[in-house]
Amino acid sequence: MQRDFLFRFISIFLLFFFTIKSYSSNLPVKFEGSEHMTAGDKTKLFFSSEEGSTGHLLHLPNGLALTYGQLIALGDFYGLPKEPIALGKSEKERTTRFHAAFNTLAMTEQTVAETNQILQVFNFEKNEIEEGMKRGEKPEDIYKRIEKETTIKFNCITGGGCDSNWWMNPGRYLELQKTNFDHFGKNALLAYQAGHQLALEEAIEAHHIHDLNKLEIAYAMDGFAAHFLTDRFASGHMRTPRVELFSHVTPSVVGSILSGYMHGEDNENGLHVHNLNRDQWIAYGDRFYFNDCNKENIERMQQVLQISVNEIFYAYENGTMPYENEIAKLIPEPNEIKNNSHLDISSLFYWDEPSYKLYRRTNLDNYFDKHWTTNWWGWSTLLLLAKRHGLTIENQANLVLSGYGEIALRDGLLTDKDISNYVRYKVYKDN
């Protein structure tokens, strides 16, 4: 009886505490570029038996020269939106897709100027974080403050709109976000493994012909693959059923938006995690790289990045594949999944494979509600979540461009002035 009372008391306290930490909007589903870049540039690369070094420039066939960290960060900007790597039906198809995605960065000459512009925005992000933290701002709040500005810049750089109606013409950056299945859960590992395998094979070829330039390509491939590996250390990417929400919610654009809300909840509140070595820690997510609460998780992520590049050098030095898969033992897995909820917030959504059903937390406002339902609708759920947390400009634009502008305007989802005025004019013109 006392235990039940104590459990209820703790639950109420935690509910109050985490409600205060409620995120302010449905966040974009990615680590920020400056976070990826900072993590990767702490990784040492080896080109001989001497001690490795950080910051080495890796030269690509199209003339780009990038650090390992920059290559990790660019994983959000290059690829083929209609060919997610992890959705390849075999290992061979996944490696083929990865190679094609990597080549969109490494082989095209026009990419050189574009990439340099993207890196300038990364540096802007990083400087804003450093200066804001000096003034006492939290990193996650700084990211929210500069979000619209950086999104427009990235859209413009990658071939999309640049003016006040930028959202009407999505560039590659925004198109990739619509099908970013490679960045979540088991898919993130599959995408990484496909690229890491290719990088190992490239390193072995470099060994046989004694070609350090080819070793650079192997490291570059591994850096591009490591983008998905680092995503797997972000709490919002661990248990969000990204593919299932897209596939089983009608319309699919709403399913994608809903995945952003769960991603935001888990990122900001963190999750208790473990690995196959039975280590236990708490992981936070995107925009928390520079936050002290996520320090242990980031240290573990950087350990895994170092192991990844060490394996590339082993393959180069020995001409064979590594014997043991150390990384698999170090990947974080959430302690509480599906309807298992005690210390962490309850999953907003979860996919149950045996019943082939998508569950939603019954009480959307109560992060510790331990009831789930299959009797729910995507649009009404979106209305409830948007009322509490808002709806990003990108997702307002996605609704309009997917043909749901009029109903989104009617239901109060379009809060951006430019977007709502566009829809009003279109409705007026059509009538």
Specify whether 131 is located in the same domain as 243. Answer: no
Specify whether 228 is located in the same domain as 113. Answer: yes
Which of 331, 352, 368 represents a domain boundary (last residue)? 331
Specify whether 58 is located in the same domain as 175. Answer: yes
Specify whether 206 is located in the same domain as 355. Answer: no
Please determine, for residue 141, whether its predicted confidence score (pLDDT) is greater than 70: yes
**CA separation for the pair 218, 6 (Å, rounded):** 55
- According to the model, what pLDDT value does residue 10 have? 41
Average pLDDT over residues 195-222: 98
Output the average pLDDT for the chain. Answer: 90
**377 within some domain:** yes
Specify whether 258 is located in the same domain as 291. Answer: no
**215 within some domain:** yes
**48 within some domain:** yes
Sign of the alpha-carbon dihedral angle for 140, 145, 147, 150: negative
Domain range for 79 is: 31-234+284-331
**73 within some domain:** yes
| 252 Cβ contact partners less than 8 Å away, ≥ 6 residues apart | 246
Specify whether 42 is located in the same domain as 102. Answer: yes
Q: Considering its fold, how many domains does the chain have in total?
A: 2
**343 within some domain:** yes
Specify whether 247 is located in the same domain as 174. Answer: no
Specify whether 183 is located in the same domain as 65. Answer: yes
The three-class DSSP label of residue 278 is coil
**401 within some domain:** no
Specify whether 110 is located in the same domain as 19. Answer: no
**1 within some domain:** yes
Specify whether 160 is located in the same domain as 200. Answer: yes
Q: pLDDT tier at 51 (50, 70, 90 boundaries)?
A: confident
**CA separation for the pair 411, 115 (Å, rounded):** 39
- According to the model, what pLDDT value does residue 34 have? 59
Specify whether 230 is located in the same domain as 244. Answer: no
Q: pLDDT tier at 38 (50, 70, 90 boundaries)?
A: confident
H helix and E strand count, the chain: 16, 8
**219 within some domain:** yes
- According to the model, what pLDDT value does residue 93 have? 98
Q: Among residues 203, 231, 188, 175, which one has the least CA distance to residue 58?
A: 203
Q: What is the pLDDT of residues 209-238, one digit of tens each?
A: 999 999 999 999 999 999 999 999 999 999
Please determine, for residue 6, whether its predicted confidence score (pLDDT) is greater than 60: no
Specify whether 344 is located in the same domain as 308. Answer: no
